Amino acid sequence: MKSSEICTVFNRIYDPILRRYILQPTVITGVFWQEALGATMSHEKLYESNEVHIFIPFSAEATRTFGAPDEFEKNPTLYFTFRPEDKIMRGITSGKSLTIISINTFDYGSKDMRHWEVVAK
């Protein structure tokens, strides 16, 4: 899987000095960004159900090292992770961030096929 897209993941971390949550950005290069447009109808109302699927190879270059959520909690300045409710954005400064709703790990097959699928709205 080869792609030249860039995305930015914003992990939410608690800053004890500021006593509030801040978003820590990590830029990832070499991702595949796929938008899925859709709609659902419920009780005679039309609801937008657009999703974005981001395929991130394990081999993608990032400004931080990937760590499982427990590793990230121990050292958030060294690692980044994927968690529901964190934010993700296409590019570096597009201005429109989406909320991650699910993460699937595909860690089987050849090294070139291993990736994460991040679904965001």
pTM (two decimals): 0.84
Q: How would you classify residue 95: left for phi > 0, otherwise alpha for psi between -120 and 50, otherwise beta?
A: left
What's residue 83's pLDDT?
A: 95
Sorted by where each begins, the domain ranges of the chain are 5-120
What's residue 46's pLDDT?
A: 65
CB 76 within 8 A of CB 13: yes
- For 55-76, how does the pLDDT look when each residue is reduced to its tens digit (9 = 90+)? 999 999 999 999 999 999 999 9
Helices (H) and strands (E) in the chain, counts: 1, 11
What's residue 49's pLDDT?
A: 67
Give the C-alpha separation, 13 to 55, whole Å: 24
Burial class (CB in 10 A: 0-12, 13-18, 19+), 7: buried
Within the chain, which residues score under 50 in pLDDT? none
